[in-house]
Structure 1
Amino acid sequence: MGSKSRSGKAQPRLVDVAEQAGVSLATASRALAGRNGVSAEVAAHVRDIAATIGYVANPHARSLAGGAASVAGLLVFEIGDPYFSEIASGVIGTAAEHGWSVQISHTERRPASEAAQLRLMRASRVGAIIVAGSGYVDPAMEAAIARELDAFQESGGRAVVIGQHQVRADAVLPDNCAAAVEVAAHLIRLGHRHLAVVAGPEHLRTVADRLKGIRTALSRHGLDPDSLPVLHASFTREGGERATLEMLDARPETTAILALNDAMATGVLSALRRRGQAVPRDISVTGFDDIQVAQDLAPALTTARLPMSAMGSTAFELALLPRAQRPRRRRTDHELVVRDSTAPPR
């Protein structure tokens, strides 16, 4: 037990309280902070243990095992993107429940800046790091990130990633492939045979997984997945608009456009309005993620809903657990949300 190995002047840590009370670090933290989620009996037991071993909480720097301050670092691609904003809300809300604060950094969608941002977080002595952004198809592109996270965890920090990454860390895995299968199958069942995809950068693992799902649906319904037109652009509204205009010129027979995130889908709708194409009368449109604005678009967007806030919350809960010998995996669910932007082709 941690309390038995301390020298005379060493101060008891929260992890010592948790170990002697036989509860998790998160439960000990909630019990001593008087937060919800812990029974009165367990809370009293934890407080008794804390008093017995002489633990005194420092409201300015509660500690995680190893002594790191209770500040978590959250790295996102673009904080202005609603996808990352909703994930961040889940991280921040759950962190607050446990008495943690969150430091947010974003890479402005520049892969080269990720390792630099992680180094800054480590220099700030955060106790946990959560990386919320797609991994890369090429493992070499994540080598620097993997080194930073390995070093951080070896020094006692905790790291969690959201999405498929080539790193040794606990992970929350969005249901990208299966959700994409369902979106594409929905359009095929409506009668669409001339589908096209407006996708984000092809080096992103998220893009590859969602494309894999769409092609799987085509194969299952007897369509040729290799003939699927795909245009790659930035994972933004502007990228979706540019790619759609190019797609309409190259593939005028298209009856349905699948955007690989909702931000791109808003650009798709804008481009179609500019071209005088009615949605869904002339072309059906689908998105992905179900950001809050998706239901308020005109027409309201058919999309695949991922539990973004819950993904952030789950990631933070994983960060509170001790590091495991094998990285943990938490898979999410998904839901097809059918709204007004899809209909049978004319």
Structure 2
Amino acid sequence: MAVTLGDVARHAGVSLATASRALNGSARSVTEELSAKVRASAEALGYLPNAPAQALARATGATIGVLLHDVADPYFGGIARGVGDAAARAGLLSLVASTDGDPRRELEAIRMLHAHRARAIVLAGSAYTDVEARRRLDEALTAYQAQGGHVVAISEHGPNYDTVHVNNQEGATSLTYALQQLGHRRFAVITGPERMWVSADRLNGVLDALRGAGQEPTDGMVQHAEFTREGGQAAMARILDIARESGTPLPTAVIALSDICAAGALAELRAGGISVPGEMSVAGFDDIPLATDLAPALSTVRLPLIRMGESAVRLALRGPGPQRDRSEAFAQVVLRDSTAAPKAD
């Protein structure tokens, strides 16, 4: 297996950024003692430095890269629109890389943007639960930052990057409270894939509210699915099957933790002859434009997606140093026709 810059940093007992500066010729100062230590470790391990990366140290271009899961998903489309608009106002070009939620594809995109001297990289929805995947991504991003690049994360990715904070957990809690106030006591939840932190954040927000009221979902009433229409429809079908096979009452409210998943849930309920909100209320999360076009219009949690993308660019152009933007991503509950008080049992 090839020796990585991270291996050299660990051997020398220095940070990844320091190792990168010592070996890649960054103008940011590293003491001669540390440089000698890093060079000795590189030689001992047989590390072969990346010559093009050395030549590009400190260089920045006129592009901002945006890494997202699926450009066809309106959630990511809204963020990409915001990045593109703000980049254009700054005289920059935005380049969108769709990774399909695959950390390997994301790593390749980061390295390519680094090689092409992108001025900044915006991470949208790419926080993974897999420790090894996160380590590799962090190594690549740290090396990029050490050579003058700027990384901005939308949602939490740790302390090493400027962040546009998204109130995912708080928004999910507030949505659950709103449904409880309507009188709902039996809930089902359709959350995202377990590999993504956003899924855990939103699910934890729902469960916190339910547990606080003694309403934790019964077995099978929490389903993981891809954040797609098909994923939401399949998860809704599983929830209905489990309830019917166990002989337990159907939930009166379903919280799908993305609007796209909620659209799939609505389709499955319609196909099964279950009226919304007459027999079951459905709520989503994100408030994408589709939410108001569905029948019935979808209750949801509104995130200012375009402003989130614009905020990421503003942070990227402010210069180095961690900065937080929390106000731009405030989550707001919006109740529409897809939710109502449950029928009396």
TM-score of the aligned structures, taking structure 1 as reference length: 0.78
2:240 alignment partner in structure 1? 248
Aligned to 2:119, the other structure's residue is in SS state strand
CA distance in 1, matches of 2:161, 2:241: 44
Shift of 1:112: 2.2
Cα-to-partner distance string for 1:238-291 (whole Å, 9 max, x where unaligned) = 000001001101124211110010010000000001111110001100000000
CA distance in 2, matches of 1:173, 1:226: 32
Shift of 1:166: 3.9
Match of 1:146 among 122, 138, 142: 138
Pick closer, same or farther for the CA change 1:211–1:228 going to 2, 3 Å: farther
1:322 alignment partner in structure 2? 319
Percent same amino acid among aligned pairs? 42
Match of 1:272 among 263, 266, 269: 269
Question: Number of aligned pairs?
Answer: 280
**What pairs up with 1:163-174 in 2 under 5 angstroms?**
163-166=155-158, 168-174=160-166
**What pairs up with 1:15-164 in 2 under 5 angstroms?**
66-164=58-156
Cα-to-partner distance string for 1:299-322 (whole Å, 9 max, x where unaligned) = 000000011111100001000011
Contact 1:171 1:328 in 2 (8 A): yes
CA distance in 2, matches of 1:248, 1:225: 14
Pick closer, same or farther for the CA change 1:342–1:177 going to 2, 3 Å: same
> Which amino acid letter does the alignment assign opposite residue 337 of structure 2?
D
CA distance in 2, matches of 1:207, 1:79: 19
Aligned to 1:126, the other structure's residue is in SS state coil
**What pairs up with 1:170-189 in 2 under 5 angstroms?**
170-189=162-181
CA distance in 2, matches of 1:323, 1:138: 28
Question: Gapped runs of 5+ residues in structure 1?
Answer: 1-64
> Which amino acid letter does the alignment assign opposite residue 273 of structure 2?
G
User: Which deviates the most, 137-146 or 170-179?
Assistant: 137-146
Aligned to 1:93, the other structure's residue is in SS state helix
Cα-to-partner distance string for 1:40-65 (whole Å, 9 max, x where unaligned) = xxxxxxxxxxxxxxxxxxxxxxxxx9
Cα-to-partner distance string for 1:118-165 (whole Å, 9 max, x where unaligned) = 111112211111111141234333111111110110001111111122
Cα-to-partner distance string for 1:148-204 (whole Å, 9 max, x where unaligned) = 110110001111111122461111111101100111111111111110011110121
Pick closer, same or farther for the CA change 1:76–1:168 going to 2, 3 Å: same
CA distance in 2, matches of 1:164, 1:227: 30
TM-score of the aligned structures, taking structure 2 as reference length: 0.78
Does residue 1:194 correspond to 2:189, yes or no?
Answer: no
> Which amino acid letter does the alignment assign opposite residue 199 of structure 1?
T
1:237 alignment partner in structure 2? 229
CA distance in 2, matches of 1:113, 1:164: 20
**What pairs up with 1:267-306 in 2 under 5 angstroms?**
267-306=264-303
CA distance in 1, matches of 2:235, 2:219: 18
